[in-house]
Amino acid sequence: PRREDFGDLYEQQYAVALFNVVRFEIEGGGGGQSQLLHRKDPLAGRNIFSGNLFQYLEENRKWRNRFVSVPSGYTINLYESKSAHDRGLHSKVSIDCAGYKALTSMEEYMELINDSLPGVKAKAGGVPFIKCPTNFPLILWHPYARHHHFCVMTEKEQKKWHAVLQDCVRHSNNGLSEEDPVQTPAFTDSVRLYRQAQGHYGTWDLMCGAPPQILANLVMETLQPELRDVIGPRLKGKMQQRQRNWMLISGAVYKQVLSQTNRQYAALVEASEAERAPLDARLRTDMDQLITSKEHVCSKIRALVLPKADQVLRTNVQPYISSILDALMEPTSRGFSEVRDVFFKELVDISKNSLNRGSKEEVGEQLERLSMLAFHPMKMQSCYEKMEQLNLEGLQQRFDVSSPSVFISRAQILMRQQMDNAVYTFEQLLQQSLKDQGEEDICKTIHKCQDRVIKKYDYDSSTVRKKFFREALLQIIIPYMLQQLAPSCTPELPRFKEMIFEDFSRFLLVENLYEEVVLQSVTKDTMMAVKEAAVQRKHNLYRDSMVLTNSDPNLHLLEDTPQVDWATNFGGDEAVGSMGSSTEGGGIGRRRRQVVSMIQLEGLPLPYESCLEVPGVELIPEEDIPESKDEEAEEELGPSEDPKSPDSVDEIRDLINPMLEVELPESEEKQADVVSGTEMTTGTITMEDGVQEQVTHVTTIVEDNPRRSVRDKSSPQTILRELMGSQKERVTEEEAAIQKAIEEMELAVQDEDGEQPAEASTAESDNDSQPQATDCGSRNDSGFQSPTNEGLNESESEPIKNGPNGEAKMADAVPVEPMFM
């Protein structure tokens, strides 16, 4: 939006929000107190998750092994290796997942890509522009921002990482911070009014992230279609290349827009905060007169609006309220019931362990894991999946609901909060009971605390769900009512401005008063619908008249006590929970505990957890499949570096304009004479000392190309080479013996093969004379890491020559496919 438009809206809504806050402070009020305790900072000093993924790099179109760390802020940080993370180095990439969607199939990803660029449709079964070397991809997709592509080796890993990515997205999309009761409502109301002025009344999926991100999404909602109409028809090349280029352009534009919205929003907040003190003083002086004036104007607006609102409500809304409520209640109640079951099962396991005479250290470890149960992506996944079944089909079009994802995400966050409240309350009750009664019969003590917490959870769960149902109904109905009433009511609103004194005009806006009247007309029906559901005892909802009072009058005094360190209490000062940990600065004994244990690769022994370097898979080879002779020649030259995301409008222009002058080559439709790909195999190597090592091989396959002589990648000598390459830190006499065995085996292979072409023999002998690389791939002359050149002739292993000015060039000109005509 233009700064003057949104800036004016924000300035107006800021004064209105400040009026509401000051009035609430003066008049008081608030809801009932919850039964469960609430932990203020549950993730203090903890990492959520860490492990290893293969990441696709746009810069050189290759896949690299990256160490991933997810801190308490739920940003995804990718490092070169675990040692780089442990040394405190800066991450290679840091991803804020707000607005993203976590995908697990290339087919779903390509459908979204096709929808983003109309007119460029992939054929059924076509090859995507990114070829995943495994069958287990993980993709973070955003409608405007840069996409991120990952993959793992097994289906089990994929499920775990998908749960982690979904948790990051869920947390980042969890609305705006409520720490500032003025800025947050001022911003949300400004965005809503701005979109309503453009005719968008329904829910918005991209109302997520920080305010600058939301503003960038708001800008791109209008800018991207215009950009697509201008640039889309001019994109040239093969379908996959056009899709990839459009993705890069969209991401570059979004980054530039986000940098501008960051600066403009910061200036907007600074200007508004500068006026806060004088506005606050005026409000406290004139509050009584402001409330009287507001009630007078609202009564006049109510006389105009209520008859029309009642008619729309009776004919178009009331018949559907029960259907909406049933659709919401079924999956939500199942999800909260699953939270209760998961919590109960964890406590039963702890009780069994203590009953079976488990050691204090084991019980302490279990209690330590329990403390972070709500933030364990895999253990909470069964709860979240219940909510994923929410289906509003048939109601979405009628009430202009873009998708149920807004309600799904909100309900899942509430489930996590209730789980953490239950766990925290149990911890405080258990600690207090152990102090009073001792640790002799810990199983009985756990059972008593468990029963007390379950009762409190049932009550709070009912309260939270009823509030969620009421808010969801209003989110669906109110925008629909405003849209239906706009043609008849909106033109009449300006005449009510004359009833407001000029001194009060900053705090009393007719548009806000009109929406309050509409809200009041609907609130009664929504509250009655939820109340009737509770009376009928549907989905275990308590009646509003049922209030638990004085069940634990002193319980809330424990809310400010420090978090219990069960590992220390039960296992000594140096004990650390078994959830995995990494050393934190600030003292030898201090540790940064991790919520979730690091992912272990399926089939590999414990020393090779995926948080460590994966043996034999330091690099997954580049994924490009040459589709013509020209592209094959370009592959020999080496992958060209992709343009990085521009930081200015000029850089975006530099990214696009030079490509407009390049003509499309005539050889675009030539058939490929090389069919290549990647293959991953797993082999077991028995060392001389009898120890077996399991090695995963990533092999580039080349078929039906007489110009290449490719050595069998499954041959014993190649396997031994890869084994040596994966053991970077070990240089022993055994490896020297293995190296000697390799040379003898290669000589035997040459004797069996007989005569070889002189050119290939020379290249192969040159390769054998080179020092053995410690990485799985070698570096070619272009500076990028690539699969080993072993077995290639000279013309393929050295494709780059230097020009007169030192620049890299090829012997023969290779036509490069342009992005634009």
CA atoms of 196 and 501, how far apart (whole Å): 27
- DSSP strand pairing (675-686 vs 692-703): antiparallel
CA atoms of 576 and 592, how far apart (whole Å): 9
Per-residue pLDDT of 559-581, as tens digits, reads 666 677 666 666 544 333 333 33
Q: What DSSP assignment string belongs to 48-68?
A: EEEEEEEEEETTTTEEEEEEE
Q: What pLDDT score does 367 carry?
A: 86
CA atoms of 107 and 277, how far apart (whole Å): 55
- DSSP strand pairing (591-594 vs 46-57): parallel
Helix (H, G, I), strand (E, B) or coil at 736: helix
* Of 39, 38, 48, 87, residue with least CA distance to 68: 48
Q: What pLDDT score does 781 carry?
A: 39
Helix (H, G, I), strand (E, B) or coil at 767: helix
Task: Work out the angle between the directed axes of helices 649-656 and 239-274 (0-180°, nearest 10).
Answer: 170
More confident residue, 251 or 647: 251
CA atoms of 92 and 13, how far apart (whole Å): 40
Per-residue pLDDT of 34-59, as tens digits, reads 888 888 888 877 888 899 999 999 88
Confidence of residue 547 (pLDDT cuts 50, 70, 90): low
Q: Which of 73-77, 585-589, 815-819 has the lowest mean pLDDT?
A: 585-589
CA atoms of 668 and 673, how far apart (whole Å): 14
CA atoms of 133 and 56, how far apart (whole Å): 10
More confident residue, 632 or 565: 565
Q: What pLDDT score does 594 carry?
A: 65
Q: What pLDDT score does 817 carry?
A: 44
The backbone torsions φ and ψ at residue 666, rounded to the nearest 5 degrees and listed phi first, read -80, -15
Do the Cβ atoms of 508 and 293 come closer than 8 Å? Answer: yes
DSSP symbol at 373: G
For residues 13-36, average pLDDT: 85
More confident residue, 366 or 423: 423
Decide if pLDDT at 245 tops 80: yes
Decide if pLDDT at 792 tops 50: no
Q: Which of 196-205, 259-268, 283-292, 511-520 has the lowest mean pLDDT?
A: 196-205
Q: What pLDDT score does 130 carry?
A: 83
CB atoms within 10 A of CB 27: 9
- The token pair at 560 is 């400010």
Q: What pLDDT score does 178 carry?
A: 78
- The token pair at 255 is 């980054």
CA atoms of 135 and 124, how far apart (whole Å): 18
For residues 534-559, average pLDDT: 65
For residues 330-359, average pLDDT: 88
Per-residue pLDDT of 110-143, as tens digits, reads 888 888 776 655 555 556 778 888 999 999 999 9
- The token pair at 20 is 């509401």
For residues 624-653, average pLDDT: 45
Decide if pLDDT at 407 tops 80: yes
Model-level pTM? Answer: 0.72
CA atoms of 321 and 444, how far apart (whole Å): 47
Do the Cβ atoms of 93 and 126 come closer than 8 Å? Answer: no
Compute the mean pLDDT over every residue in the chain, rounded to the nearest whole number. 74
For 735: left if phi > 0, alpha if psi spans -120 to 50, otherwise beta; the answer is alpha
Confidence of residue 176 (pLDDT cuts 50, 70, 90): confident
Our measurement of the distance from residue 514's CA atom to the centroid of its chain's CA atoms, rounded to an integer in Å, reads 38
Decide if pLDDT at 439 tops 50: yes
Per-residue pLDDT of 216-244, as tens digits, reads 999 999 999 998 888 888 888 888 888 88
Q: Give percent of the chain above pLDDT 70.
A: 63
Q: Which of 82-86, 232-236, 794-798 has the lowest mean pLDDT?
A: 794-798
- The token pair at 214 is 């939301």
More confident residue, 36 or 548: 36
* Of 787, 372, 803, residue with least CA distance to 577: 372
Kindly tell me the sign of the dihedral angle through the C-alpha atoms of 268, 273, 275, 281. positive
CA atoms of 77 and 606, how far apart (whole Å): 24
Q: What pLDDT score does 642 carry?
A: 42
Per-residue pLDDT of 262-306, as tens digits, reads 999 999 999 999 999 999 999 999 999 999 999 999 999 999 999
- Residues whose CB is less than 8 angstroms from the CB of residue 287 and which lie 6 or more positions away in sequence, other chains included: 22, 23, 26
Q: What pLDDT score does 417 carry?
A: 94
Q: What pLDDT score does 126 carry?
A: 58
Residue 587's identity, in one-letter code, is G
The backbone torsions φ and ψ at residue 140, rounded to the nearest 5 degrees and listed phi first, read -100, 110
Confidence of residue 158 (pLDDT cuts 50, 70, 90): very high
Decide if pLDDT at 796 tops 90: no
Name the H helices within 604-694. Answer: 629-637, 649-656
More confident residue, 605 or 385: 385
Per-residue pLDDT of 642-682, as tens digits, reads 444 555 556 666 655 544 434 334 433 333 333 334 444 44
CB atoms within 10 A of CB 437: 13
Q: What pLDDT score does 735 carry?
A: 55
Decide if pLDDT at 597 tops 70: no
- The token pair at 457 is 């959870």
